[in-house]
Structure 1
Amino acid sequence: MSESAIEALILSTSTMKSQYGPLVGAIDEGTSSCRFIVFSASTGKLVAKHQIALSQSFPNEGWVEQDPMEILSVVNGTMEACVEKLKDQGIEPSDIVAVGLTNQRESTIVWDKLTGEPLYNSIVWSDARTTVTLDKILEVVPNKNKNYLAPLCGLPLSPYFSALKINWLMNNVPKVKQAIDEGRCCFGTVDTWVIWNLTGGKDGGKYVTDVSNASRTMLMNIETLQWDPMLCGV
């Protein structure tokens, strides 16, 4: 991550120099593009923004993937551009006191926590490669009821959510299985991947998510708000 982007994430306790007072940044990481937007914390007034397109690849029919490293590059690029736009207005990047993140949710990324390298492309939320896996699961579910696990996870059985994507990665990507066996595989939705990298990556990055993302994996119990052993075992 570049020095200018890091500056934009530092919490400042100094006297605010801009006419807007303290600022808040927002990372909006979508499927087709990423935006970084800076607002006045007191008025909500837009101060700066920048947007960069994201590419997608389609290796097979029904498959949709993205490069996790491109996602990071675009996130950093939007922040760096906003830092320059703030400076052009005579505003110090250190006036940014907090940064929030919104993102495409069900998309699934796995990476090596020791090297920080992705173990496979991000499998995008719209990817349908696990349809066959779903059909096999439904064969052993009473009445082929797609809502069988809904009381636990709040979601129907579907290729849309992260759980079946993780299953596919475990069974079809040898690097993923090996990393799991060796205890160095990290899984996350896009928020986790971005935050882990922005806070240090392999050198102590924060490995976190929130309930709005976790609830779209099919792995979180919606009553306890914890990862559910039974759901993870399925």
Structure 2
Amino acid sequence: TSYFIDNLQPGTTYWCILHSVSNSGYCYQPGVEISAKTWDAEEFNPREFTAVVRSSRSIRLSWQAAKTSDRIPQLYEIACQATEHLIFRTSKTSTNITFLQPGTTYWCSLHSVSTSGFNYQPGVEISARTWDTAANNPSQLTAVVQNETCVLLTWQAVKNADRKSVLYTIVVNSDKGKSITTLETSYTMMNYNHSLLYKFEVFSTTLAGYINQPGAKTYLSPNLISSHDFQEVTEN
């Protein structure tokens, strides 16, 4: 059984007592008691909390300041937990978390801190997974135009893998729904249009089916000069 109580005041502690009631209306004693504090008003909480993975060992957190605060400058508490538990405070609205573990998911919470030192609730939460080590990712991806409709992709194999034959996933122009898989370290893409900009990405895949990040990527610039004058741009 349950009961929903609404129209309460924000940031207020309520004490509730529950009794069983007899047919005659008598409340059986002692009953049970519980207390709960409603969340603080939305304006006391930071907004638009984002996490951007920068490398295998760092994540950048940023957010919009709370609309209301009882202290100047505003103070925020960040807690990130994975293999270790990190808690720290800052008056900024962005921060870099470094010295993290590669290929690890971190759950981060952010709260505004009052002048009395307590955290306004509920705060905001976000999760992000650091990139996998360079040894788990392919490298030196290149795209070479073979003819007007064909591009050859080549890359260096991963140095560390959990499978004998590494499976690679190729994504063209961020269209993951049409990704291509191969056991080779090269792939010939047909239906190339030399007037378009292409973004190629290659990822290695683990035995469990997880795609290691960030993979390798390269861009192929559109050729607007001649169908036989091709350009190549590469990025490891």
With structure 2 as the length reference, what TM-score do the two structures score?
A: 0.32
Q: Which has the higher strand share?
A: 2
Question: Of the two structures, which has the highest relative contact order with CA contacts closer than 8 Å and spacing of 6 or more?
Answer: 1
Larger Rg: 2
Q: Which has the higher helix share?
A: 1
With structure 1 as the length reference, what TM-score do the two structures score?
A: 0.32
